[in-house]
Chains A and B, each alone.
Chain A
Amino acid sequence: MSVVARAAALIVAFLGVVGVGVFVAVYYIGSATTQLPIVHYTASSGQVNVVLQEDAQNDSTTRPDWVTYYTQDPATKQWLHTTLFSVPANTKVNVTIYGYDGCTPLRNNFFSQVQGTLGGTVTVSQFDQHGKEYVTGKTTPLINSWADCNVGHSFAIPELGVFVPVASPNAQLSAEDLCSSSPCTTTGNPYAVETFSFMSPKATGTYRWQCFVPCGGGYLDGNSGPMGTLGWMMGEMDVVSA
């Protein structure tokens, strides 16, 4: 085989290996993100309303026992199993989170403090399975996850300095009457409703968000599985031009 032919064969082999690598990366790794729907929230009167819920289980066929967030489609009000959403830049973002999962203490209780929201507080209401409101509109800068059964998960966008503990049903309700079919509804299930607001950044881009409660039950220190998978307990907020 001539030198030219050998060189050509080597180049073809090299390009083949690179091509296979690119294909694997794009098809398999890329698909983990691209298969998730993105919920687009548009502003009205300079504000945008993001609605999430967190459940102890989910309606997937692959990992039905994983804890997860759902995102509500603003047009259809349907709950989508995704953690990707977009908001306009430099806009007041009003977030409502329905907490259906039971309580789990934070690994670092510092994140019990509400940070980065407008006013530095959240407003929490809690309901039992009969719809009775046993905590009504409590505005607080702190939900101490170590003091009582009251924090299910957290919602944090570290790059924006937003760290919010998300309230859960109380101890008895967490132990006995949690929602067991996702996406959960407010009928017949105990839950907490938490609202807060923050300003989206002026700079467009993708901002990751995550939960800081080690809620990956069954995984080492609860820190893997849904904690490290897009579409479950972490997500991305796309900030787009207003």
Chain B
Amino acid sequence: MSASDTPAAPLANASPEPRHGLRLLAGWLTLSVAACLAIWFAWYPHLPPGVTSDSSTHQQFDIAVLAVIAAPVVIGVLLYFGYAIVVWRARPGDEGDGPAIYGNTKVQATWIIGTTMIVLGLFVFGTVELVGPAGAGAGEGPAPIWKLSGTQTTAWTPGGNDILQVQVIGQQWAFTYRYPQFGGMESTVLDLPANTPIEFHVTSLDVIHSFWAYLLGVKADANPQVDNVAYTTVKTLGGFTVHCSELCGIWHGAMTTSGTILIPGAFRTWATGVQAKEQSEGVLAALPPYALTYDPTVIPQLGQNIVKIDGITGGAGYYYGSGNPVTP
């Protein structure tokens, strides 16, 4: 009889089965604590969209909280996956079946209760984070439920708690901004005062756009004939960029504008300066009266000479005659 024919040693002499659960728990705890600390103290301060406004600050906090909650779950799954592959893999020559799998009430209950608590907790957390910062910088439609506290005024002044209204107008392919508290003046740049509640009214003159001031944590669809309201309070001075985030035509990707957050006094100087310039040049008189939405096919102020001519200017006060618009 050769050595290879020697019967296996009795099970009683085999090395005891290690305590896999304890190993996994220890490893999971260690890695999870390390990951959560790294996320909170190293990653969180650098997470987008930053701390330019209260909306973006809340969004940064939300992402950090979600990452901290998700990290132990991801680590648990991957750790178990890796542990199973390494420890419970089939050894060379092992053709036998593994032990039968039976239900484990403790594991099942723990999983169901744990995931339910996480989901319900996230529901509460998400609701608080949506309501607290007045819609979290998202468009709330024409009748917002969660409003930013502040005073609605017809003439904004710095130093108080006046809400600054800014109308965002999308058109192919540029955003422009109207300031109704400054005579309805309009600008191609979005300048804002720091530490001031801002009420955006977002609309469009043609197709659907989306106003996305990324660093401000504000994003609201710009739909024609719709007034979409979003709130934020900007905090830090500096520049930011506005993008369109709704595919709106061939130059959607280039539909960007810039903005600057100024100290309130400097903002007022800028706004009144633009207002005065547009007043003196006749721009304010040329603009339509400020409204929450505009129908670009109807122009009440259209001069009589325009409607007399032929072509696509077909009806009184309208761009087009009764046959337009048409589908080519």
Contacts and interface: CB of A to CB of B under 8 A. Distances in A.
Interface of A: 102-105, 107-110, 112-113, 115, 141-142, 144, 146-149, 156, 158-159, 161, 163, 170-171, 174-175, 208, 210, 212, 214-215, 217-225, 227-229, 234
A146 B283 contact: no
Interface stretch (B12-20, B70-78, B248-256): B248-256
B326 A218 contact: yes
A107 B287 CA distance: 11
Nearest to B283: A113
A113 B188 CA distance: 11
Interface residues of B, number: 46
Contacts of B308: 149, 171, 175
A145 B189 CA distance: 22
A109 B251 contact: no
B90 interface: no
Contacts of A109: 286-288, 299
Contact of A217 (B302, B306, B312): B312
Interface of B: 169, 171-174, 176, 186, 188-189, 205-207, 249-251, 254, 256-257, 278, 281-283, 286-288, 296-297, 299, 301-303, 305-306, 308-313, 319-320, 324-328
B190 to A, nearest CB: 13
Contacts of B324: 217-218, 222
Contact of A110 (B207, B283, B319): B283
B68 to A, nearest CB: 39
Contact of B249 (A107, A171, A222, A228): A228
A171 B309 CA distance: 6
A161 B174 CA distance: 11
Residue of A115, A161, A220 contacting most chain B CB atoms (<10 Å): A220
A142 B309 contact: no
Contacts of B320: 222
A174 B287 contact: no
Given A146-B303, A214-B319, A163 B296 contact: no
Contacts of A144: 282, 286
A175 B176 contact: no
Contacts of B310: 102, 175
A234 to B, nearest CB: 7
Contacts of A158: 173-174, 188, 254, 257
Given A113-B283, A171-B306, A161 B319 contact: no
Contacts of A174: 309, 311
Nearest to B255: A158
Contacts of A223: 172, 206-207
A112 B205 CA distance: 16
A149 B306 contact: yes
A223 to B, nearest CB: 5
B205 A108 contact: yes
B93 to A, nearest CB: 24
Contacts of A212: 171, 174
A146 B326 contact: no
Contact of A142 (B171, B283, B306, B313): B283
Nearest to B205: A107
A110 B178 CA distance: 10
Given A110-B176, A110-B287, A144-B286, 9 more contacts: A102-B310, A108-B296, A142-B281, A146-B303, A158-B173, A171-B306, A171-B308, A217-B324, A228-B250
Given A105-B313, A112-B286, A222 B325 contact: yes
Given A108-B205, A109-B288, A103 B309 contact: yes
Nearest to A228: B250
B226 to A, nearest CB: 16
A220 B188 contact: no
Contacts of A221: 206, 296-297, 319, 325
Contacts of B305: 148-149, 170-171
A200 B171 CA distance: 25
Given A105-B306, A219-B328, A221-B297, A147 B313 contact: no
A156 B174 CA distance: 10
A208 B171 contact: no
A141 B278 CA distance: 10
B286 A147 contact: yes
Residue of B189, B299, B306, B310 contacting most chain A CB atoms (<10 Å): B306
Residue of A115, A147, A210 contacting most chain B CB atoms (<10 Å): A147
Given A148-B305, A218-B326, A219-B325, A105 B287 contact: no
A149 B303 CA distance: 8
Contacts of A163: 188
Given A148-B303, A159-B254, A228-B249, A112 B283 contact: yes
